[in-house]
């Protein structure tokens, strides 16, 4: 399972202190930490369970987030990664159905053709849901 953490980046006259990630070359996983977004100066990151955060700079405090529905929606709205997932869902649909095809399905419903369309779209949306779940959202 993936957890969401938050912290505030701190900048002094010489340095911006941010989350220190592990040395991925030493890990036996392809998983990576993903910076999801920054909201009101608070940065949210997705950390897979397979990764242990290394010691962090004393200037920042990293805390696990209790992900409420409201916070989850805020992160989804602000995250470029979630937007990319949403865009990829649309691309997957467009590989098979054009926008005109989709409008046509509204008029054909219910039919075997619209049922096949709905099943395909749901499979694309399921892919997106899994991708977001892998980010902890």
Q: Is the dihedral of CA 66, 30, 76, 114 positive or negative?
A: negative
Count of other CB atoms within 10 angstroms of residue 26: 6
- pLDDT of 110 reads 87
Q: How many residues does the chain have?
A: 137
> Quick one: which of 71, 85, 57, 70 has its CA closest to 5?
71
- pLDDT of 44 reads 98
Round to whole Å and give the CA distance between 86 and 124: 10
53 alpha carbon, distance to own chain's centre: 19
45 alpha carbon, distance to own chain's centre: 10
Apex CA 27: angle with CA 6 and CA 131, to 5°? 55
In which element (H, E) is residue 17 found? Answer: strand 16-17
- pLDDT of 91 reads 97
Secondary structure of residue 21 in the 3-state scheme? coil
- pTM higher than the cut 0.85: yes
Q: Are the C-beta atoms of residues 95 and 120 closer than 8 Å to each other?
A: no
Residues in the chain with pLDDT values less than 70: none
- pLDDT of 60 reads 95
- pLDDT of 107 reads 86
């Amino acid at each position: 399972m993936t957890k969401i953490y938050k912290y505030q980046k701190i900048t002094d006259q010489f340095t911006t202190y941010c989350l220190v990630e592990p040395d991925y070359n030493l890990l036996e996983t392809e998983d990576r930490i993903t910076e999801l977004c920054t909201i009101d100066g608070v940065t949210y990151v997705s950390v897979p369970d397979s990764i242990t955060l290394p010691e962090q700079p004393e200037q920042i405090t990293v805390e696990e987030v209790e992900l409420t529905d409201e916070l989850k929606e805020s992160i989804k709205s602000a995250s470029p990664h979630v937007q990319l997932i949403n865009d990829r869902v649309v691309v997957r649909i467009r590989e098979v159905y054009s926008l005109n095809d989709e409008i046509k399905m509204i008029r054909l419903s219910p039919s075997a053709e619209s049922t096949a369309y709905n099943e395909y779209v749901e499979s694309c949306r399921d892919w997106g849901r899994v991708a977001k779940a892998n980010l902890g959202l």
